[in-house]
């Protein structure tokens, strides 16, 4: 059973606007969450992370929000740029193991 | 070379062949991982090595055999694979047990494997 879900397979946003990518999880033991970005023919690239003791982490144009009670996190990209077009994966892990549990990804297209 | 490298990038093999995938990390990390990404599925963890010791085997069939001779190198030996094993195989590395609860994994570019 999949513990990390990204229910939107794709998202299209205009350049300069906000992109919001969503992720839900079912395991309440998850305490560290990550977002990865993947271009075709490349491996996933680490983007930003958040631990369960925080509800927000910001790095430049990227902000991740965590709502533990709803078991939901989101990635905001402001402003979106055409170079942000990629597949974005949400991942989560517990403190007791190494395994990252990944969602299926959301394909973001930023149009000029 | 920087980061995590993988060779070969593409591999086509028959079901009776034996081949190996190689991964090398240049980040000074202590943990290395093999993941599999099949079409329409999320990345699935296969194996974890921490300080050269295998710490996780995620119920992977024995036709996949990992080897970690040192903290910088990781191999995946393949033999008598099936067509359904065709997938993208990704290697990753992290600080490992010394990385604490915020240990972050960094990925290589992957090997696209096709089994005929």
Per-residue pLDDT of chain B (116 residues; tens, 9 = 90+): 579 999 999 999 998 889 999 999 999 999 999 999 998 888 999 999 988 888 877 789 999 999 999 999 999 999 999 999 999 999 999 988 765 677 889 999 999 999 99
Residues of A in contact with B58 (CB under 8 A): 99
Asked whether the beta carbons of residue B90 and residue A43 sit closer than 8 angstroms, the reply is yes
Residues 60-89 of B with CB under 8 A from A: none
* Residue A9, both tokens: 């397979």
* Distance between B67 CA and the closest CA of chain A, angstroms: 18
Chain A residue nearest residue B32, CA to CA: A98
Asked whether the beta carbons of residue B109 and residue A43 sit closer than 8 angstroms, the reply is yes
């Amino acid at each position: 059973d999949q513990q990390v879900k990204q229910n939107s397979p794709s998202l299209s946003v205009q350049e300069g606007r906000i992109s919001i990518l969503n992720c839900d999880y079912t395991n309440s033991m998850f305490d560290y969450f990550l977002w990865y970005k993947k271009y075709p023919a490349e491996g996933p690239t680490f983007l930003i992370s958040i631990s369960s003791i925080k509800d927000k982490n910001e790095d430049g144009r990227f902000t991740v929000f965590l709502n533990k009670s709803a078991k939901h996190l989101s990635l905001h990209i402001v402003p979106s740029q055409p170079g942000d077009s990629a597949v974005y994966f949400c991942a989560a892990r517990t403190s007791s193991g190494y395994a990252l549990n990944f969602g299926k990804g959301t394909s973001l297209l930023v149009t000029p | 070379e920087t980061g995590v490298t993988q060779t070969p990038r593409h591999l086509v093999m028959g079901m009776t062949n034996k081949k190996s995938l190689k991964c090398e990390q240049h980040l000074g990390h202590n943990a290395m991982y093999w993941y599999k990404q099949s079409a329409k599925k999320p990345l699935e963890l296969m194996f974890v090595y921490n300080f050269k010791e295998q710490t996780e085997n995620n119920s992977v069939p024995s036709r996949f055999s990992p080897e970690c001779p040192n903290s910088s190198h990781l191999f995946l030996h393949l033999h008598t694979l099936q067509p359904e094993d065709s997938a993208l195989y990704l290697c990753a590395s992290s600080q490992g047990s010394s990385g604490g609860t915020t240990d972050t994994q960094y990925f290589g570019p992957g090997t696209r494997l096709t089994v005929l």
